[in-house]
Chains A and B, each alone.
Chain A
C-alpha cells in the first residue's frame, strides 16, 4: 500500500514560496475578476436605487409648489345675496356660474394693471386661472358670509399650463399646437410675475385636498386618498393583528404535528407567494359579488389587504414567539400556570415588540399595494368627497394613495405625472416612517437571551 508512489510528488520541483508561479498569478487574476464582478453587481443594485430615488425626488418635488395668482374679487352683494339677509341656504343658491364673472372682473383688473388687456380675449384670460377658481371663491364665501360686499384678495390657482411654464414643463417653442396656452398669454404671465401678482407658493391643497377632474390638474390633491388609505390600514390593523397573533400562537405553542397543521403551514407559505392580483379577484368575487359589500369601499380594500398581509404577520410573529426561550414557559408551568396562562401571561408579552415590528412592516407592505385595489373599484373614480363621519369612512367610496397615483399616471395631461411623483414622495415618507418605527422598536426592545 505504502509503496504506491505519488506521481505528482516527483514532478513538481521544489519552488520558493516567495515567488509566485504563473499559474498562481493566473488564479489570482481570476480571483480579482470574480470579486470585481461582485462589486459591479452591488454597484448596479445601488445605482438603480439612487436613480430611482433621485427620479422620484426630482420629478415629484415640484408637486409641492404651485403657482398662484393674487386676484382682488369684489363680492357683489347684488349678485350673491339678493335677499340681503345672509341666510346660508339662500347663499348656496348662488352657483359657481354666479361667481365666475366676479372672478373674471378681478382678473381683468390685474391684467390691466400689468399693462395688457387689449391683446387678450376674455377666454384667453380665463385660461390663465384654474377652472376651480369660482368654486374656490364660493367655498370661502359660504364659510364666511361676512365677506360679501368687500373686495377680497384671493390666491387663485393658476392653470396647469401656467404652472407648468413656471416649473419648466411647458416651453414657449413647444406650444404651437396647444389650444390651452399661447405665446401672448405667456408674455402676460411673465409680466404678472414681475408685478408680484403671480407667484409660486407651497401647495397645501396637494397634500390635503381632494382629487380633481381631468381638466383641473392644478387643483388635484391626495388628501382624500390618504384618508382612504388610513381607513384601510385601520381595518388591516384591527383584523390582521389579532388574527395573525392568534394563528401564530396556535401554530407555535399548541398545535401538534399532524396533517391539519401541516395543511395550515403549507397554506400560509403559499399564500405569501400568491400574486396580489389574485387577492383582488378574491375580494371582487367574495366580498362584492357574494357578500354584497359596497364597491370602492375602504372596508373591502382593508379586508383584501388583511388576507394578503396575514401570512407576513404570521411568519414574523412565529419567529418572535420562537425567540422566547423555553425556560420561560417551563418556569410558568412550574408554578402551576396552565399552558394558556403561560402563553398569555409570559410568552406573549415578551414577544410583543417582535410582533409589533412584524405587524408594522406588514402594514407598510399593505399600504403600498395597488393591484388588488384596482379590481375592487378603487380607481377610475375621482375621490372628491370627505366621508361624513368616522363610520361612513369605511363604507363610502374612496380611493387610496397608491390607487390615486395610478389614476394620475393614466391621465393624459402631463401635469398629473408631477402629481403622481409627488404622491409617491408622500407614500414613501409614510413607508419610511413606518419602517423607522419598526427599527426603533426592534432596537429598543431587542432582547438577547
Chain B
C-alpha cells in the first residue's frame, strides 16, 4: 500500500528505549538465543524478521519477561529498559509488563464485554480513581486502536463476538489502556485476513507517535511497510540490525540477503 511514504519518513527518535547485551536464552538444554545485542529506539517501529524457529518470538518475550511463565526457560545477559535492568531481582514482572505491553499472534479477547476487556488493565494496575476516568481511558484506548467508531454503541457486548480483525484491535486497545511505553507484538496479523491486516498495520504506524513498538513478523513485506528498524534473526543469532530500507535494499550479511531474496526460510 503506502510503502513509499512509510519508509521515507525519517527515523527521528534517537533515544534508546531498550538496550539488550549478551542475551542468552535456554530452553532446558537447548540454547535458543545466542549472544544477542540490540538497541530498541523510542517512538519507532522495530521489526524482528527471520525464518520460523529462529528465536525472534523468544527474544521478544524476553523483553517483558513473559518467558518467566515457562518453567524450563532461563535467560542470561542484560536487558535494560530506560537504563534499568529488567532482570534485576528487585523488578516485579507485573510492574514491568504494565510498562511493556504485549499483543499476541491469535486475537485473545477475554470472555468479557468489550468495555471490561479494555478496562481490565487499568483496573488491576489501579490507574483510575473513579468510573469516569475509567470510561475516559477505555474510550481513548479504543480510539487509538481505531475501534471506537465500530464498537461505541455496543461496549457491553462480549469481546469474543467481534470479527477477527476487530478482536485483534481490541487486544491492542487492551494493551495500550495501561499506557505502556513499549508495545510488543508477536505476529499480530498472522491470523487476520488482508483487509484486517491493512487496518492493523495502519494502526501500528500511528501507535509510533506514542510508543516504542516492537513487532515480530514472518512477512518481509509487512516489515518493510511498517518498520523503521529491522533485525534479522537466524538460528538464534541476531545476524543483522539496521535501518529497514538498508536491510531490504543493501544487506551486509549474505544470510540476510539469502533470506530476503527467498533462498532460505
* A touches B (Cβ under 8 A): yes
Residues from chain B with a CB closer than 8 A to the CB of A20 are 90, 92, 95
Q: With contacts A4-B143, A6-B140, A16-B84 known, is A21 near B179, CB below 8 A?
A: no
Could you mark each residue 5-29 of chain A with 1 if its beta carbon is under 8 Å from any beta carbon of chain B, else 0?
1111101101011111101100110
Q: Is B196 an interface residue (CB 8 A)?
A: no
Could you mark each residue 104-142 of chain B with 1 if its beta carbon is under 8 Å from any beta carbon of chain A, else 0?
000000000000000000101111100001001101110
Among residues of A, the one whose C-beta sits closest to the C-beta of B206 is A2
Report B75 CB to chain A, min CB distance, Å.
16
Residues from chain A with a CB closer than 8 A to the CB of B126 are 23
Q: Is A1 an interface residue (CB 8 A)?
A: yes
Q: Which among B127, B176, B209 is the interface contact of A12 at CB below 8 angstroms?
A: B127
Which residue among A2, A5, A6, A8 has the maximum number of chain B CB atoms within 10 Å of its CB? A8
Report A352 CB to chain B, min CB distance, Å.
35
Give complex CA distance A1, B144 in Å.
7
Does A6 contact B179, Cβ atoms closer than 8 Å?
A: yes
Give complex CA distance A280, B101 in Å.
60
Give complex CA distance A12, B90 in Å.
20
* Interface size, A (range): 20 to 34
Residues from chain A with a CB closer than 8 A to the CB of B179 are 6, 8-9, 12
Residues from chain A with a CB closer than 8 A to the CB of B84 are 16-18
Report A206 CB to chain B, min CB distance, Å.
50
Does B127 contact A17, Cβ atoms closer than 8 Å?
A: no
Residues from chain B with a CB closer than 8 A to the CB of A28 are 92, 94
Give complex CA distance A259, B22 in Å.
63
Give complex CA distance A37, B176 in Å.
33
From residue 209 to 243 of chain A, which have CB atoms closer than 8 A to chain B? Answer: none
Q: With contacts A1-B143, A1-B206, A17-B81 known, is A8 near B127, CB below 8 A?
A: yes
Could you mark each residue 180-212 of chain B with 1 if its beta carbon is under 8 Å from any beta carbon of chain A, else 0?
000000000000000000000000001001100
Q: Is B146 an interface residue (CB 8 A)?
A: yes
Does A18 contact B206, Cβ atoms closer than 8 Å?
A: no
Does A18 contact B90, Cβ atoms closer than 8 Å?
A: yes
Does A8 contact B86, Cβ atoms closer than 8 Å?
A: no
Among residues of B, the one whose C-beta sits closest to the C-beta of A22 is B126
Residues from chain B with a CB closer than 8 A to the CB of A5 are 140
Does B146 contact A27, Cβ atoms closer than 8 Å?
A: no
Report A213 CB to chain B, min CB distance, Å.
61
Does A23 contact B210, Cβ atoms closer than 8 Å?
A: no
Does B96 contact A17, Cβ atoms closer than 8 Å?
A: yes
Q: Is B11 an interface residue (CB 8 A)?
A: no
Does B209 contact A17, Cβ atoms closer than 8 Å?
A: no
Q: With contacts A17-B99, A18-B90, A28-B92 known, is A8 near B144, CB below 8 A?
A: no
Does B124 contact A27, Cβ atoms closer than 8 Å?
A: yes
Q: Is B66 an interface residue (CB 8 A)?
A: no
Give complex CA distance A21, B178 in Å.
16
Residues from chain A with a CB closer than 8 A to the CB of B141 are 6
Give complex CA distance A4, B140 in Å.
6
Report A165 CB to chain B, min CB distance, Å.
58
Residues from chain B with a CB closer than 8 A to the CB of A24 are 92, 94-95
Give complex CA distance A6, B92 in Å.
25
Does B95 contact A17, Cβ atoms closer than 8 Å?
A: yes
Residues from chain A with a CB closer than 8 A to the CB of B146 are 1
Give complex CA distance A2, B176 in Å.
13
Q: Is B88 an interface residue (CB 8 A)?
A: yes
Residues from chain A with a CB closer than 8 A to the CB of B94 are 24, 27-28
From residue 372 to 416 of chain A, which have CB atoms closer than 8 A to chain B? Answer: none
Does A18 contact B88, Cβ atoms closer than 8 Å?
A: yes
Q: With contacts A17-B96, A23-B126 known, is A2 near B144, CB below 8 A?
A: yes
Q: Is B264 an interface residue (CB 8 A)?
A: no
Among residues of A, the one whose C-beta sits closest to the C-beta of B99 is A17
Report B179 CB to chain A, min CB distance, Å.
4
Does B210 contact A7, Cβ atoms closer than 8 Å?
A: no
Residues from chain B with a CB closer than 8 A to the CB of A18 are 84, 88, 90-91
Q: With contacts A17-B86, A18-B91, A21-B95 known, is A7 near B124, CB below 8 A?
A: no
From residue 200 to 250 of chain B, which have CB atoms closer than 8 A to chain A? Answer: 206, 209-210
Which residue among A1, A17, A19 has the maximum number of chain B CB atoms within 10 Å of its CB? A17
Which residue among B86, B126, B139 has the maximum number of chain A CB atoms within 10 Å of its CB? B126
Q: With contacts A17-B95, A24-B95, A27-B124 known, is A6 near B86, CB below 8 A?
A: no
Report B185 CB to chain A, min CB distance, Å.
18
Does B137 contact A6, Cβ atoms closer than 8 Å?
A: yes
Does B137 contact A23, Cβ atoms closer than 8 Å?
A: no
Does B143 contact A8, Cβ atoms closer than 8 Å?
A: no
Give complex CA distance A4, B145 in Å.
11
Report B167 CB to chain A, min CB distance, Å.
19
Among residues of B, the one whose C-beta sits closest to the C-beta of A3 is B143
Among residues of A, the one whose C-beta sits closest to the C-beta of B178 is A8
Residues from chain B with a CB closer than 8 A to the CB of A7 are 133, 136-137, 140
Report A160 CB to chain B, min CB distance, Å.
57
Residues from chain A with a CB closer than 8 A to the CB of B133 are 7-8
Residues from chain A with a CB closer than 8 A to the CB of B82 are 14, 17
Residues from chain B with a CB closer than 8 A to the CB of A21 are 95
From residue 17 to 55 of chain A, which have CB atoms closer than 8 A to chain B? Answer: 17-21, 23-24, 27-28
Residues from chain A with a CB closer than 8 A to the CB of B90 are 17-20
Residues from chain A with a CB closer than 8 A to the CB of B86 are 17
Among residues of B, the one whose C-beta sits closest to the C-beta of A9 is B179
Among residues of B, the one whose C-beta sits closest to the C-beta of A15 is B95
Q: With contacts A18-B84, A20-B92, A24-B94 known, is A9 near B128, CB below 8 A?
A: no
User: What 9 new A-B contacts, CB under 8 Å, besides A4-B143, A9-B179, A12-B127?
Assistant: A6-B144, A8-B122, A17-B86, A17-B95, A18-B91, A20-B90, A20-B95, A23-B126, A27-B124
Q: 23 A–B contact pairs at CB < 8 A?
A: A1-B143, A1-B146, A1-B206, A2-B209, A4-B139, A4-B143, A4-B144, A5-B140, A6-B144, A7-B140, A8-B122, A14-B82, A17-B82, A17-B91, A17-B95, A17-B99, A18-B84, A18-B88, A18-B91, A19-B90, A20-B92, A20-B95, A24-B94
Q: Which residues in A have some Cβ–Cβ distance to B below 8 Å?
A: 1-2, 4-9, 11-12, 14, 16-21, 23-24, 27-28
Q: 8 nearest interchain CB pairs?
A: A9-B179, A4-B143, A18-B90, A8-B127, A8-B179, A17-B84, A23-B126, A7-B136
